[in-house]
Amino acid sequence: MVAMKDTNVVQAAPRMGAAHALPPALSVAGLTVAYGEKPAVFSVDMTVAQGTMTAIVGPNGAGKSTLLKAVLGLVKPLSGEVRLFGLALSRARDRIAYVPQRASVDWDFPARVIDVVLMGLHRELGLLRRVRPEHLDRARACLARVGMQDFATRQIGQLSGGQQQRVFLARALVQQADLYLLDEPFAGVDAATEKAIIAVLKELQAEGRTIVAVHHDLSTVRAYFDHLFLINTRAIAAGPVADVFTSENLQRAYGGRLGEAQLAGGAVTG
Amino acid sequence: MGAEFVALSLPPLLIGILAAVTCALPGNFLLLRRQALIGDAISHVVLPGIVVAFLLTGTIATLPMLLGAAGAALLAVILIEGVRRTARIEAGAAMGVVFTSLFAAGVLLLEQSDTSAVHLDVEHALYGNLESLIWLDATGWASLVDPVALSGLPPELPRMALALLIVVLALRLMWRPLAMATFDEGFAATLGLPVRAIGLGLVMLAALAAVAAFDAVGSIIVIAMFICPPASARMMTDRLGAQVGWSVVFAILSAVLGYVAAGYGPLWLGYDNSVSAAGMIATVSGLILGITMLIGPRRHPAGLARQG
């Protein structure tokens, strides 16, 4: 599926795939990131076509989050190039939205749910512009999309893990991005939240937007995503889930650490 | 009563209030960023800064003192970051190492240099000289509108007022990015916000507050005001704006109650001399923190009120 969103962005050196008229939502070439001496991500190439929904999957410490952070410019790579919609990150910022790991922030921060969602409107609000009813309406609408409309004035520290994750998603929704990058959006959330989040992500995809999520649950890869990127420091395999989600590829990614049951439940069947 | 109050008590009281508020404002964000010790560090390294400035210039004129203190604060921030990265130890330990070393170096320098002719000593550095900031030209409330008398105001007063003005304006401008970078630095960075510059800007603002306040009131008040009023305010509310508002209230309350208690408290208790206003203001701010921890509506220690 190819996004039909009209775009007047000048495409700097677009690298077009044969089947796509649009530049990829995300392209990564030769990306290497290291913390200290050991590379966390080594020489990774990755292409994400517009309008797809991709899971980044791999064992713990495989560099999944690091890859995402390097794409977003949050960690500095040793080498490699990242392009978003054919553009450098600095020119594509208003087209991307990031949903960090829930556990990466201090939820004791003195803010209400609506305050957090309004952070997603920073590009419009700037330093000093007044928050208008229109902004509040949009923030509330995004909260409603994730089923959190009744929690707008709740202190964020009083939310459950799943509710916190929904608030993060609402903050990304209000950004109206073309590419959504999510880090473990289903980690530690309740089943209802997981359902709500995946429903919203599928809606986003239906609107032509692109979704890339770090994902850890092999049993839901097939149901949730259409593309898969397997990584274990190096890229292991990439492509449509139907082609890539095989027990052979998973064994290579997980280095034999994967239980037979997981393989049976995830890849071989279905 | 009027004339005596205006000449002897009003200026130190105002300077105490201004210093308390100027430090408490950036303290709110330092606290939320778990950098409260930065204020502690900065107020300690101010001492070697002004000693070096004195050794270089031979005077205790305001400008060299401020520049020396600001330079030392900057040096400390760089050293802390350097120690943290090269030694890979946590920020709190890095701060502890840097500011105690620099403060100790300042004490040694001070001992070795001939400062007998000027008002520069360790005691002054710790407690300031709040009580001595009197306004001899004042003859009563009317002096407040008398330009000649006003020109005799202790220079610390306009200097502190200017520092407060700068802190207020800068925080107003930085408010949203600072709040975002404090709550969720990764997200803020993806919006294109310069999160490192924001963090450094806050530290520089704290340094400005510390340097300006240090001269007038000493480092005890500076350290207490960076932490106690914001921490008390956090117990009162779950909203950032309200927290900052409460911290201003508590800072003013500490300054006023502390000053009055230091000046008159011992008299009331039957002693005939007063105690250090700086020490009493800091003590009162600690008492306020204790009270808010017991009865504040949001008195949960960070993390305990979470549900799964």
Scanning every residue of chain A, which has its alpha carbon at the shortest distance from the alpha carbon of B230? A110
Scanning every residue of chain B, which has its alpha carbon at the shortest distance from the alpha carbon of A109? B183
| A30 touching chain B per CB within 8 A | no
- Looking at beta carbons, which residues of chain B come within 8 Å of A107? 306
* Position B308 pLDDT exceeds 80: no
Enumerate the domain spans of chain B: 2-217
Q: Summarize pLDDT for B288-305 with one digit per residue, the tens.
A: 999 999 988 876 544 344
Q: Summarize pLDDT for A211-259 with one digit per residue, the tens.
A: 999 998 999 999 999 999 999 999 999 999 999 999 999 999 998 666 6
Mean pLDDT over the full length of chain A: 89
Q: Which of 1.10.10.10, 3.40.50.300, 1.20.120.1200, 3.30.70.260 would CATH assign to domain A26-104+178-268?
A: 3.40.50.300
Interface confidence (ipTM) of the complex: 0.86
The answer to whether A100 contacts B184, with C-beta atoms less than 8 Å apart, is: yes
Q: Summarize pLDDT for B219-258 with one digit per residue, the tens.
A: 888 899 999 999 999 999 999 999 999 999 999 999 999 9
Predicted local confidence at residue B300, as pLDDT = 58
Q: Summarize pLDDT for B172-194 with one digit per residue, the tens.
A: 999 999 999 999 999 999 999 99
Of A110, A122, A123, the CB nearest to B234: A110
Mean pLDDT of B114-123: 68
Q: Which CATH superfamily is domain B2-217 in?
A: ABC transporter involved in vitamin B12 uptake, BtuC (1.10.3470.10)
Mean pLDDT of B73-82: 84
| B88 touching chain A per CB within 8 A | no
Scanning every residue of chain A, which has its alpha carbon at the shortest distance from the alpha carbon of B307? A160
Quickly list DSSP for chain B: -HHHIIIIIHHHHHHHHHHHHHHHHHHHHHHHTT-HHHHHHHHHHHHHHHHHHHHHHSS--HHHHHHHHHHHHHHHHHHHHHHHHHHT--HHHHHHHHHHHHHHHHHHHHHHS--TTTT--HHHHHHTTGGG---TT--SGGGGG-HHHHTTS-THHHHHHHHHHHHHHHHHHHHHHHHHHHH-HHHHHHTT--HHHHHHHHHHHHHHHHHHHHHHHHHHHHHHHHHHHHHHHHTT-SSHHHHHHHHHHHHHHHHHHHHHHHHHHHHHTT-SS---HHHHHHHHHHHHHHHHHHH-TT-PPTTTT---
Mean pLDDT of B73-81: 84
Q: Which of A96, A108, A165 to mutate to test the interface with B (most CBs of B within 10 A)?
A: A108
| B191 touching chain A per CB within 8 A | yes
* Position A17 pLDDT exceeds 80: no
| A121 touching chain B per CB within 8 A | no
* Position A262 pLDDT exceeds 70: no
The answer to whether B189 contacts A96, with C-beta atoms less than 8 Å apart, is: no
* Position A151 pLDDT exceeds 60: yes
A 59-98: CB under 8 A from B: 69, 72-74, 90, 93, 96-98
A 164-183: CB under 8 A from B: 171
d(CA B64, CA B56): 9
The answer to whether A111 contacts B240, with C-beta atoms less than 8 Å apart, is: yes
Of B32, B176, B237, the CB nearest to A122: B176
β-pairing, A179-183 with A26-35? unpaired
Closest approach of chain A CAs to the CA of B204, in angstroms? 19
| A104 touching chain B per CB within 8 A | yes
Predicted local confidence at residue A257, as pLDDT = 64
Closest approach of chain A CAs to the CA of B139, in angstroms? 44
Predicted local confidence at residue B290, as pLDDT = 94
